[in-house]
Amino acid sequence: MTYELPDLPYGYDALEPSVDTRTMHVHHDKHHQAYVTNLNKALEGYEELQEKSTIELQLDLDVVPEGIRKAVRNNAVGHANHTMFWQCMSPDGGGEPDGSLANAIEESFGSFGAFQTAFNKAAATYFGSGWIWLCVDTEGKLQITTTPGHDNPVVDGLMPLLVLDVWEHAYYLKYENRRGDFIAAWWNVVDWETVATNLAASKIALGLDKVAEWARGTWSKLEEGLAKLGGS
């Protein structure tokens, strides 16, 4: 299997003015593409590993030869994280969640406002390049976590629901060093329907006590779904 760059589930200009068209082109076509290209290059000649999803590569990193392990890890996670980042945004996004997602946020954080404040603080104060996540832990409780570089909370047994990319290439062309302005604008395009779907899937996974299987399945379906959108 050759890993492929998924098409965006919306136009490059669809998230304007929150995320500008030029940034979307550079971020998706150059940065994300580079992770895909480099992952394929690293796995040349390793057909068995090529059959694994990006999340399976992370969870089964011990089976990856040491000589290519770092390249596989960095590029597989970069590919996976960006794939979820695109899916968590929509031109019809923004506002506040409702239903079971709203209830879960209130139960874990006290209110949506408190959650948003905590998420904003984590994103604004994160030093360097990384990712800010809303996850479900193995007890079913929501929590905010951060990962440096290209790490993913799946390897810590957490199930990602929502992710924000705070690498500078995600916002610098428009917002320069004003990361806080980018974070504030990003809330206008958060796709709460996707986040709610991820939460529902996590509840099933917790019921089956299969965190790793959930992670593999969810990320594989996410990648497949974006690939189908690209082919339609």
Q: What average pLDDT score do residues 17-32 get?
A: 98
Structure tokens that stand for 3 in this block: 């890993």
pLDDT higher for 30 or 202? 30
196 with 100: CB under 8 angstroms? yes
The whole-angstrom separation of Cα 194 and Cα 175 is 26
Give how far the C-alpha of residue 11 lies from the chain's centroid of Cα atoms, to the nearest Å.
19
Q: What average pLDDT score do residues 23-39 get?
A: 98
The whole-angstrom separation of Cα 227 and Cα 232 is 9
Q: Which of 232, 164, 222 is nearest to 197 (CA)?
A: 222
In tens, the pLDDT along 216-225 reads 666 666 777 6
pLDDT higher for 15 or 210? 15
The whole-angstrom separation of Cα 28 and Cα 9 is 12
Edge-to-edge order in the sheet of strand 130-136: 142-148, 130-136, 159-165
- Given the structure tokens 């594989």, which residue do they identify? 220
What percent of the chain lies above the pLDDT cut of 90?
80
Determine which of 8-12, 74-78, 112-116, 211-215 has the lowest per-residue pLDDT on average: 211-215
Cα atoms in the 13 Å half-sphere on the side-chain side of 159: 29
In tens, the pLDDT along 62-90 reads 999 999 999 999 999 999 999 999 999 99
Q: Where are the beta strands (DSSP E) in the chain?
A: 130-136, 142-148, 159-165
The whole-angstrom separation of Cα 200 and Cα 183 is 26
215 with 135: CB under 8 angstroms? no
In tens, the pLDDT along 179-217 reads 999 999 999 999 999 999 999 988 766 654 555 566 666
Which domains, from first to last, does the chain contain?
21-87 (1.10.287.990), 99-231 (3.55.40.20)
What one-letter code names the amino acid at 32?
H
The whole-angstrom separation of Cα 201 and Cα 211 is 11
pLDDT higher for 55 or 146? 146
Would you state the pLDDT for residue 15? 98
- Given the structure tokens 């030029």, which residue do they identify? 22
Would you state the pLDDT for residue 206? 65
What percent of the chain lies above the pLDDT cut of 70?
88
